Amino acid sequence: MKLEALTSLRFFAALMVLCSHLRFLAESDNPLVKLIYDKVFWEGYIGVTFFFILSGFILSFAYQQRLQSRQIGFWEYMSARVARIYPLHIVTWLLALPLVFFLVPSSTESLATYFTNGALIQSYFPDRSIHFSANIPSWSLSDEMFFYLLFPFLLRCGNRLLLGLVAVLLVWHFAIFLSELSEQRKHFYNYVFPLARLLDFVVGLLLFRWYSQAWKPLPEGTATLVQLGALGLLAVFFAIKGVIPQPLRFDVFYILPMALVIVAFATDRGLLAKALQNPVLVLLGEASFALYLTHQLVIRYAEVAAGNWAWPMDAFAAVVLLAVAIAVSVLCYLGFEKRLHRWALSQLIPLGKSLDHGRNTAKTPSN
């Protein structure tokens, strides 16, 4: 099972997040452009919900059997995850440095905040200037590191225990929604805080268990209908979003349709899944992590340039930035992301073996 359709869907999820960050369109003089941003693009943050659910699903697919059978240990597993996200994070973290300290006069970010971002612990801090610091989208990597650390322990939990955890986390979300916290604090505790977003990850983990144990291969026509139905349900949820309170729309509201989209496309059957297996779309999906981490830097540097040279930031600029961001992501992926991943893995795995050897040597009594 290659999951190529899901790989391609990662590109569209990253594209949604990118569109939500084209905030200059909200100030457009064109009423139609402003309307499209306010009613469609801004809601693109829901791509993060897709990514977090998919993370639980894919980690279960890739590591559940190997960890449970002890084919790999905790160090090898964490080394693979750190090697996957940290190298590109550090590159984009460094690229954000001029924006933080030199090019944006309104920036009030401190050196301590900047290094908090680099260490990927920023999403534990309610202060917006901390969790949305440096390369802002990296807050979600802080959450992912939390999920990665918990994953081997969550694997040992039965379905009832995980369903209980889902219930507790849902109570958390609704309690925050009903609280008298400020809107900014509700945004943090419903959208950013790792414990809150653990809900998505655990749903993905349960989704894979159900899929691997109960899901049966569907005929081509049925698979196509299921995929159309999942996308249709997501479209319905999107259409009625205006009647849902914003704190719930940050995550809880979209979990069901996003989960159904993931399970519907975790197959190589169906016309839509086959269309998503197009090599170009798969490549864009593989480059989606780079797109996610680099797109806002592209936008922010463009805004600095536009301010210096009086370039208009309008719908045409948005199209150009979209094309540039996608091109940058593909170049990053093909040019050095894969190489950095392999290099980091080659350094971390031997380090783990050296540490194990050192511990074993220390335990061996000398003659």
According to the model, what pLDDT value does residue 357 have? Answer: 45
- Is 322 in contact with 345 (CB distance < 8 Å)? no
Looking at per-residue pLDDT, the higher value among 218 and 131 belongs to: 131
Work out the mean pLDDT of the chain and round it to a whole number: 92
| Residue 352 confidence class, pLDDT cut points 50, 70, 90 | low
Give me the DSSP letters along 143-199. Answer: HHHHHHHHHHHHTTS-HHHHHHHHHHHHHHHHHHHHS---HHHHHIIIII-HHHHHH
Q: Residues 76-98: pLDDT tens digits?
A: 999 999 999 999 999 999 999 99
Looking at per-residue pLDDT, the higher value among 361 and 233 belongs to: 233
User: What is the share, in percent, of the chain residues with pLDDT greater than 90?
Assistant: 82
The residue type at 176: I
According to the model, what pLDDT value does residue 364 have? Answer: 46
According to the model, what pLDDT value does residue 302 have? Answer: 95
Please tell me the least confidently modeled range out of 123-137, 278-292, 335-349.
335-349
- 250 phi and psi angles, rounded to 5 deg: -60, -25
Looking at per-residue pLDDT, the higher value among 71 and 357 belongs to: 71
184-211 b/e with 16+ CB inside 10 Å = b?
eebbbbbbbbbebbbbbbbbbbbbbbeb
Q: Residues 240-297: pLDDT tens digits?
A: 999 999 999 999 999 999 999 999 999 889 999 999 999 999 999 999 999 999 999 9
User: What is the share, in percent, of the chain residues with pLDDT greater than 70?
Assistant: 95
134-166 b/e with 16+ CB inside 10 Å = b?
bbbbbbbbbbbbbbbeebbebbeeeeeebeebb
CB atoms within 10 A of CB 309: 7
Quick one: 25 exposed, middle or buried, by C-beta within 10 A (0-12, 13-18, 19+)?
Answer: buried
Please tell me the least confidently modeled range out of 29-38, 58-67, 153-162, 343-352.
343-352
Instruction: Give, for 96, the enclosing helix (H) or strand (E).
Output: none
Q: Residues 312-321: pLDDT tens digits?
A: 889 999 999 9
According to the model, what pLDDT value does residue 338 have? Answer: 87
The tokens describing 96, both together, are: 């954000």
According to the model, what pLDDT value does residue 345 have? Answer: 86
pLDDT higher than 70, residue 230: yes
99-116 b/e with 16+ CB inside 10 Å = b?
bbeebeeeeebeeebbeb
What's the rounded mean pLDDT across residues 343-362? 66
